[in-house]
C-alpha cells in the first residue's frame, strides 16, 4: 500500500474509532489535504482519484455522523479500486457532455432513498474490496457517489458549457448576467410573464388582445423597407377560419426557417393595419415542438447583448425540466405540509414555466417563504450565538440612575423611562446587549442613549456613538456634551448629592469626523488608546480610521438604516463583545420589526414628549408657490425660522429639478430680498456646513435653503416651516424625516410639499403626508409603494436581496418566521439528519454568515 493511502487508512480508522466526530485530525479532517495531496502525487496516484478524495474530505465537516460513516466507507472502496485497477479511459466527452452524462456524474439521490448502512466503528469491518467488472468506466466508478450524502446534485455547480448548445462564447455572454453554473440558470427567474395561454381561431381575434394562434404558413418573404436599413419579413398564416398577416422586423432568418405548408403557433398582440388584423413581431414555434413560447404563460427573462429571449428560454427550459425534478427539497416535509407550500422542484419549474397563474402564485409563495424562512433561521442562530457570549456587567445603584435622569433638562416620557430600564437590564445581564430602539422623529432617542452612556462612563469604560453625517455627529457631540457634563436642574442638589455629579468631564468626550484636522485626530487616537476619552462621537471615520479603544463597552449607532451591516460589525469589532445599541426613526410595524430584525431585541419609544403639536401639512401645486412664500414670511415675522429643501445641489440643463444653489440666488434676490437666507448642501466643506448650521441655530438666518443633508436628526426647535420642493422625488419615509425637522417647539408648525409637476397621481401619493403625522402609517405606505429594497436602502443586505418576498405581506412574513422559530427550537444547530439539506441551504444563502444581518 502506498504511504499516502496508508495514511488515509490510519486517519479513517481513528475517525471511526472516535465515532466520526471529525477530530481524528486536529481542526478537522480537511486539514490534512494540503500535505496529503502532495504526498499522493509523489506516490503517483491518479489525479482524478486525488481530486475525488479532496472533494469528499472538504465536505466532511458538514455531514452528520451517519453520513460521515457512509462517506468514508464509500471513499475507501473507491480508493482501493482506484489503486488496484489499471487506469481506465475516460468515456465522458470532455467538451460538451449532454444532460444525461452530467446526471451520471452526480449524486442525485435524496436522503430517503439512501440505502441504510449501519455505521461501523472499525475500519476493518468495512466491506472488503470488490473487483469491479473489467473495463469499468469512470462513470461507473463515480456511481459510488450515489452513496454520498444528499446534498444538492453536484452537477448543478457545473459550468454552463456543460449544457449541450452552450459553448464558450455563449457562456461568456451569460456570464454578463451573472449566470455561471447550472444552478445559476435554475434560479434565474423571469422578469415578467406574458399570457399567451388563450388560443383563438383567426376569425375571432379582437384588436389589442394577446393571444396564441395556430395555423399553416401560406407564404413568407423578406423585403427591404422603403426607408432603408430595415428588413421586413412578411408571412400569411391560415387556420381554416381566416388568414392573418404577420410581420417581423429585421429578423430575416425567420424566412429561412419557416416554409409554406409548415404548421406553427404564433403568440403576440393583435393590432390592425388598414382595417385588418395583423401581428407584429410575434413569438413563434413549429407546432410539433413542446410549446414553450406560445399557447401558455410565457416567461420573459432579462437579457444582455448576445443573449436572445427565445434562445435563453429554450436553454432554461432544458435545464429546468431536467434538473428541476432532481433538486432535493431542503424544507422538512412536515413544515412544507403544514405551511401548505408547493414542493421546491415544482416551485422552480412553475416559477419558470407556469401552467396557470394560480400555480405561478403558489410557486412564488413557496420561494418567498424560503427567502424569509432562511433569513430568519440564520438570524435566530446569530442571535443565540451572541447570547452565548459573555459581556461586562454594568449594574448601577437605582438612586444614582434616578439622580442622573433628574439631571436632564426635561422629565423623561414614560416610553423613554421604559426603554431605559430595558437597556439597563441588558447592560447588567452579563450578555452583550443587541438592542434596536425604534422611535419616530423627535421621540427623544438621544436622551435615552445619553443615559446608557452615563452608565458605562460611571464604570470608567468607553462608549462610541456613530452617526451617518457630520452635521448630525456634531449635533450629537454638542447635545451629549450638554447632557453628560453640565448640570441643569437643581444646582444645589448637585453639591449635596454626589449621585447627581455629571458622569463625564468635557475633555473626556471626543468628536471624530472626516474633517477633523490630522493633528486633532492623532490626539484623539492617543487619548482613546490611553482611555482618557470616555465617549467618542463621530461619523464612519470612527471605523475607517485606525481608531483603537482602550476599553470600548458600548457601541451606539444612530439612524442605523443609513449604515450597512458590515459597518455595524466593524464598530462592534472595536471592542471585545461590547454592548450594542442601534437607533432608528424608520418606524415599521412591531410584528414586522420583530421578524425583520430577528437578530436584535426591540424597544419602541411610542410616545412623543409633551407639548408637541402635530405639524400641519399641505400639498401645493407649483402655481401655488406664492402661498408658501406668504406663509414663510408671516412665520418669520413672528420670530420663527423656515427650511426650504431642494432635491439637487446644482441644476443642470436636462431637467427642471430645482437645485438648491440656483434657487437660493433667486430667493435671496427676488423673493425675500429683505431676509437673511443661508445655504447648506453636501458639497460644502464640513466647517462651512458647520458654520451655517450654527448661524441658523442662533437665528442669524431667517431661512435655510438646503438639500437633504439636513434630513437626518437635525434639531432646531425655533424652525416652524418646512417647504419641500420636488416633493415627488422623495419617499414618504424620507419626507416624514424632513418634516420631523419642524414641530419641535410648542408652536404650530407647517410642512408644505410642492411636486415638480401638477401631476394628480403624485399629488395623491403626497396627500398621505397631509393625512397623517404617524410615522408608522407612512412607513407602511412607503413600503407598499416602493418595495422593501428601496425602503430599507440597498445597504440593508438581507432583505434587499430578496427576489420573491414582499415584506408588506405580513401574513407570509409572520408565517415563515413562525416556522423558522419552531424548527430552531427543535434543532437549533440543524444537526439532525433530516435537516442536512436545510443546513446546506442555509449556509448557501448566508454565504458563510457575516455576523450581522438586519
Ligand atoms: P430623535 O428621537 O428624533 O433622535 P431627539 O433625541 O433629537 O429625537 O429629541 C428631539 C427633541 O426633543 C430634542 O430637542 C430633545 O431635547 C427633546 N426631548 C427629548 N426628550 C424629551 C422629553 N422627555 N421632554 C421634552 N423634550 C424632550
Ligand atoms: Mg435622532
The answer for residues whose C-beta is within 8 angstroms of residue 94's C-beta and 6 or more apart is none
For ligand 1, residues with CB inside 6 Å are 410, 412-413, 416, 439, 441-447, 585, 609, 713, 715, 717, 744
Mutate to test the pocket of ligand 1, among 411, 447, 744 (most ligand atoms within 8 A of CB): 447
Exposure letters 732-746 (e unless 16+ CB within 10 A, then b): bbbbbbbbbbbbbbe
Mutate to test the pocket of ligand 1, among 412, 438, 446, 467 (most ligand atoms within 8 A of CB): 446
pLDDT at 509 over 50: yes
What is the sign, positive or negative, of the torsion defined by CA atoms of 826, 832, 834, 835?
positive
Q: Span 513-536, mean pLDDT?
A: 93
The Å distance, Cα 613 to ligand 2 centre, comes to: 19
How distant is the alpha carbon of residue 643 from its chain centre?
34
pLDDT of res. 466:
96
pLDDT of res. 220:
93
pLDDT of res. 798:
52
How distant is the alpha carbon of residue 101 from its chain centre?
37
Q: What percentage of the chain reaches a pLDDT higher than 70?
A: 83
pLDDT at 584 over 60: yes
Q: What percentage of the chain reaches a pLDDT higher than 90?
A: 36
Residue 211: phi and psi, rounded to 5, are -140, 170
Kind plus residue range of the DSSP H or E element containing 36: helix 33-42
pLDDT at 4 over 80: yes
Mutate to test the pocket of ligand 1, among 440, 443, 444, 474 (most ligand atoms within 8 A of CB): 444
- Per the CB < 8 A criterion, the answer to whether 237 and 260 are in contact is no
Residue 807: phi and psi, rounded to 5, are -70, -10
The Å distance, Cα 749 to ligand 2 centre, comes to: 19
Per DSSP, the three-state class of 538 is: strand
Q: Please state, in angstroms and rounded to a whole number, the distance separating the CA atoms of residues 500 and 490.
A: 9
Of residues 633 and 224, the one with the higher pLDDT is 633
pLDDT of res. 225:
79
- In ligand 1, the atom with minimum distance to the C-alpha of 448 is 6
Q: Span 71-84, mean pLDDT?
A: 75
User: Which residues are paired to 750 by β-bridges?
Assistant: 616, 721
pLDDT of res. 486:
62
- Per the CB < 8 A criterion, the answer to whether 443 and 415 are in contact is yes
pLDDT of res. 132:
32
For ligand 1, atom 5, which residue shows the shortest CA distance? 444
pLDDT of res. 796:
44
Nearest to 553 by CA among 432, 463, 483, 660: 463
pLDDT tens across 418-476, in order?
999 999 999 999 999 999 999 888 889 999 999 999 999 999 999 999 998 888 898 89
Q: What's the chain's length in residues?
A: 854
pLDDT at 97 over 60: no
The Å distance, Cα 452 to ligand 2 centre, comes to: 15
Q: Please state, in angstroms and rounded to a whole number, the distance separating the CA atoms of residues 419 and 427.
A: 12
- Per the CB < 8 A criterion, the answer to whether 281 and 249 are in contact is yes
For ligand 1, atom 26, which residue shows the shortest CA distance? 609
The Å distance, Cα 78 to ligand 1 centre, comes to: 70
For ligand 1, atom 16, which residue shows the shortest CA distance? 444
The Å distance, Cα 616 to ligand 1 centre, comes to: 20
The Å distance, Cα 716 to ligand 2 centre, comes to: 12
Confidence of residue 651 (pLDDT cuts 50, 70, 90): low
Nearest to 724 by CA among 707, 709, 748, 699: 707
- Kindly calculate the radius of gyration of the chain based on its CA atoms and give it in whole angstroms: 34
pLDDT at 632 over 90: yes
pLDDT of res. 373:
92
The answer for residues whose C-beta is within 8 angstroms of residue 790's C-beta and 6 or more apart is 731
The model's pTM: 0.63
Q: Please state, in angstroms and rounded to a whole number, the distance separating the CA atoms of residues 162 and 606.
A: 57
Per DSSP, the three-state class of 497 is: coil
Give me 67's grid cell.
453520513
Tell me the HSE value of 620 on the side-chain side, using a 13 A CA sphere.
21
pLDDT of res. 147:
35
Ligand nearest to the CA of 611: 1
Ligand nearest to the CA of 718: 1
Of residues 642 and 239, the one with the higher pLDDT is 642
- In ligand 1, the atom with minimum distance to the C-alpha of 439 is 2
- C-alpha dihedral (689, 691, 693, 695), degrees to nearest 10: -150
Give me 709's grid cell.
443633508
Of residues 328 and 105, the one with the higher pLDDT is 328
The Å distance, Cα 739 to ligand 1 centre, comes to: 15
Ligand nearest to the CA of 744: 1
- In ligand 1, the atom with minimum distance to the C-alpha of 443 is 2
The Å distance, Cα 426 to ligand 2 centre, comes to: 22
- In ligand 1, the atom with minimum distance to the C-alpha of 744 is 11
For ligand 1, atom 22, which residue shows the shortest CA distance? 609
- In ligand 1, the atom with minimum distance to the C-alpha of 446 is 6
Q: Kindly state the greatest CA–CA separation across the chain.
A: 106
Q: Span 705-732, mean pLDDT?
A: 84
Tell me the HSE value of 171 on the side-chain side, using a 13 A CA sphere.
15
pLDDT of res. 153:
74
pLDDT of res. 635:
96
Mutate to test the pocket of ligand 1, among 412, 442, 443 (most ligand atoms within 8 A of CB): 442
pLDDT tens across 177-187, in order?
889 999 899 99
Strands (E) in 500-615, as ranges, are 509-512, 535-538, 552-557, 579-584, 601-605
User: Which residues are paired to 842 by β-bridges?
Assistant: none
Task: Mean pLDDT check: name the lowest of 292-296, 306-310, 740-744.
Answer: 292-296
- Per the CB < 8 A criterion, the answer to whether 643 and 706 are in contact is yes
For ligand 1, atom 19, which residue shows the shortest CA distance? 444
The Å distance, Cα 791 to ligand 2 centre, comes to: 19
pLDDT at 700 over 80: yes
- In ligand 1, the atom with minimum distance to the C-alpha of 412 is 23
pLDDT of res. 148:
34
Q: Span 82-91, mean pLDDT?
A: 44
Tell me the HSE value of 325 on the side-chain side, using a 13 A CA sphere.
5
pLDDT tens across 157-199, in order?
889 888 888 889 999 999 998 899 998 999 999 988 877 777 8
The 8-class DSSP code of residue 324 comes to G
pLDDT tens across 786-840, in order?
655 444 443 344 555 667 877 667 788 889 989 999 999 999 988 888 888 898 8
pLDDT of res. 488:
46
pLDDT at 142 over 70: no
Task: Mean pLDDT check: name the lowest of 471-475, 523-527, 749-753.
Answer: 471-475
Q: Span 300-306, mean pLDDT?
A: 87
Residue 339's alpha-carbon distances to 362, 416, 468, 830, in angstroms, are 12, 39, 41, 19
Give me 421's grid cell.
430600564
- Per the CB < 8 A criterion, the answer to whether 494 and 519 are in contact is no
Amino acid at each position: 500500500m502506498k504511504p499516502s493511502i496508508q495514511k488515509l487508512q490510519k486517519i479513517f480508522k481513528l475517525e471511526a474509532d472516535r465515532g466520526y466526530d471529525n477530530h481524528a485530525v486536529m481542526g478537522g479532517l480537511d486539514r490534512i489535504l494540503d500535505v496529503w495531496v502532495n504526498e499522493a502525487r509523489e506516490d503517483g496516484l491518479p489525479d482524478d482519484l486525488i481530486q475525488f478524495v479532496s472533494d469528499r474530505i472538504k465536505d466532511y465537516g458538514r455531514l452528520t455522523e451517519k453520513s460521515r460513516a457512509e462517506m468514508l466507507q464509500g471513499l475507501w472502496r473507491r480508493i482501493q479500486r482506484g489503486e488496484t485497477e489499471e487506469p481506465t479511459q475516460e468515456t465522458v466527452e470532455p467538451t460538451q457532455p449532454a444532460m444525461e452524462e452530467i446526471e451520471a456524474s452526480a449524486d442525485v439521490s435524496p436522503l430517503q432513498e439512501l440505502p441504510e448502512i449501519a455505521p461501523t466503528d472499525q475500519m476493518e469491518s468495512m466491506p472488503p474490496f470488490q473487483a469491479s467488472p473489467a473495463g469499468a468506466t469512470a462513470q461507473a466508478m463515480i456511481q459510488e457517489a450515489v452513496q454520498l450524502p444528499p446534498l444538492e446534485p453536484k452537477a448543478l455547480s457545473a459550468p454552463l458549457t456543460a449544457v449541450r448548445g452552450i459553448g464558450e462564447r455563449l457562456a461568456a455572454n451569460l456570464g454578463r448576467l451573472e449566470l455561471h453554473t447550472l444552478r445559476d440558470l435554475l434560479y434565474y427567474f423571469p422578469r415578467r410573464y406574458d399570457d399567451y395561454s388563450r388560443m383563438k381561431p383567426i376569425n375571432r381575434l379582437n384588436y389589442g388582445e394577446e393571444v396564441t394562434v395556430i395555423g399553416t404558413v401560406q407564404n413568407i418573404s423578406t423585403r427591404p423597407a422603403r426607408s432603408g436599413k430595415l428588413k421586413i419579413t412578411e408571412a400569411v398564416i391560415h387556420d381554416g377560419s381566416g388568414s392573418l398577416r404577420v410581420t417581423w422586423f429585421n429578423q430575416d432568418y425567420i424566412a429561412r426557417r419557416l416554409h409554406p405548408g409548415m404548421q406553427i403557433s404564433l403568440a403576440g398582440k393583435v393590432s390592425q393595419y388598414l382595417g385588418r388584423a395583423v401581428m407584429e413581431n410575434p413569438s413563434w414555434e413549429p407546432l410539433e415542438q413542446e410549446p414553450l413560447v406560445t399557447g401558455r404563460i410565457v416567461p420573459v427573462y432579462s437579457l444582455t447583448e448576445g443573449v436572445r429571449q427565445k434562445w435563453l428560454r429554450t436553454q432554461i427550459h432544458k435545464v429546468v425540466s431536467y434538473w428541476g425534478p432532481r433538486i432535493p427539497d431542503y424544507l422538512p416535509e412536515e413544515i412544507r405540509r403544514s405551511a401548505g407550500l408547493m414542493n421546491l422542484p415544482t416551485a422552480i419549474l412553475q416559477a419558470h414555466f407556469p401552467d396557470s397563474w394560480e400555480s405561478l402564485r403558489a410557486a412564488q409563495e413557496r420561494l418567498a417563504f424560503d427567502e424569509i424562512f432562511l433569513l430568519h433561521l440564520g438570524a435566530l442562530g446569530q442571535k443565540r450565538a451572541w447570547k452565548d457570549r459573555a459581556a461586562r456587567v454594568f449594574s448601577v445603584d437605582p438612586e444614582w440612575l434616578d439622580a442622573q435622569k433628574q439631571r436632564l433638562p426635561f422629565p423623561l416620557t414614560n416610553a423613554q423611562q421604559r426603554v431605559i430600564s430595558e437597556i439597563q437590564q441588558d447592560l447588567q445581564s452579563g450578555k452583550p446587549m443587541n438592542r434596536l430602539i425604534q422611535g419616530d422623529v423627535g421621540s427623544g432617542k438621544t436622551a435615552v442613549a445619553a443615559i446608557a452612556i452615563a452608565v458605562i462612563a460611571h464604570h470608567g469604560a468607553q462608549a462610541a456613538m456613530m452617526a451617518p453625517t457630520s452635521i448630525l455627529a456634531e449635533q450629537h457631540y454638542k447635545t451629549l456634551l450638554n447632557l453628560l457634563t453640565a448640570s441643569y436642574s437643581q444646582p444645589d442638589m448637585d453639591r449635596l448629592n454626589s449621585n447627581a455629579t455629571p458622569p463625564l468631564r468635557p475633555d473626556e468626550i471626543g468628536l471624530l469626523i472626516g474633517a477633523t484636522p490630522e493633528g486633532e485626530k492623532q490626539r484623539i487616537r492617543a487619548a482613546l488608546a490611553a482611555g482618557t476619552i470616555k465617549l467618542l462621537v463621530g461619523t464612519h471615520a470612527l471605523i475607517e480610521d485606525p481608531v483603537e479603544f482602550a476599553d470600548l463597552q458600548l457601541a451606539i449607532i444612530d439612524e442605523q438604516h443609513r449604515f450597512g451591516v458590515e459597518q455595524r460589525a466593524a464598530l462592534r469589532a472595536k471592542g471585545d463583545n461590547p454592548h450594542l445599541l442601534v437607533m432608528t426613526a424608520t418606524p415599521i410595524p412591531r410584528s414586522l420589526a420583530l421578524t425583520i430584525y430577528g437578530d436584535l431585541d426591540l424597544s419602541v419609544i411610542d410616545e412623543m414628549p409633551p407639548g408637541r403639536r402635530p405639524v400641519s401639512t399641505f400639498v401645493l401645486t407649483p402655481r401655488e408657490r406664492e402661498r408658501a412664500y406668504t406663509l414663510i414670511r408671516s412665520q418669520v415675522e413672528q420670530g420663527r425660522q423656515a427650511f426650504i429643501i431642494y432635491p439637487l445641489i446644482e441644476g443642470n440643463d436636462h431637467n427642471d429639478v430645482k437645485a438648491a444653489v440656483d434657487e437660493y440666488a433667486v430667493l435671496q434676490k427676488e423673493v425675500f430680498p429683505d431676509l437673511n437666507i443661508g445655504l447648506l448642501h453636501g458639497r460644502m466643506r464640513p466647517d462651512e456646513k458647520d458654520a451655517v448650521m450654527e448661524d441658523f441655530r442662533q437665528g442669524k438666518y431667517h431661512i435655510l435653503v438646503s438639500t437633504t443633508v439636513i434630513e437626518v436628526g437635525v434639531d432646531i426647535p425655533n424652525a416652524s416651516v418646512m417647504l419641500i420642493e420636488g416633493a415627488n422625488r422623495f419617499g414618504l419615509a424620507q419626507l416624514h424625516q424632513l418634516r420631523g425637522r419642524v414641530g419641535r417647539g410648542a408652536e404650530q408648525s407647517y410642512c408644505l410639499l410642492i411636486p415638480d409637476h401638477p401631476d394628480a397621481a403624485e399629488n395623491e401619493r403626497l396627500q398621505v403626508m397631509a393625512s397623517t403625522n404617524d410615522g408608522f402609517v407612512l412607513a407602511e405606505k412607503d413600503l407598499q409603494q416602493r418595495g422593501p429594497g428601496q425602503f430599507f436602502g440597498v445597504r440593508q443586505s438581507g432583505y434587499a436581496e430578496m427576489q420573491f418576498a414582499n415584506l408588506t405581506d405580513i401574513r407570509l412574513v409572520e408565517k415563515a418566521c413562525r416556522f423558522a422559530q419552531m424548527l430552531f427550537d427543535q434543532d437549533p444547530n440543524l444537526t439532525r439528519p433530516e435537516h442536512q439539506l436545510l443546513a446546506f441551504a442555509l449556509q448557501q444563502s448566508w454565504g458563510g454568515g457575516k455576523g450581522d444581518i438586519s
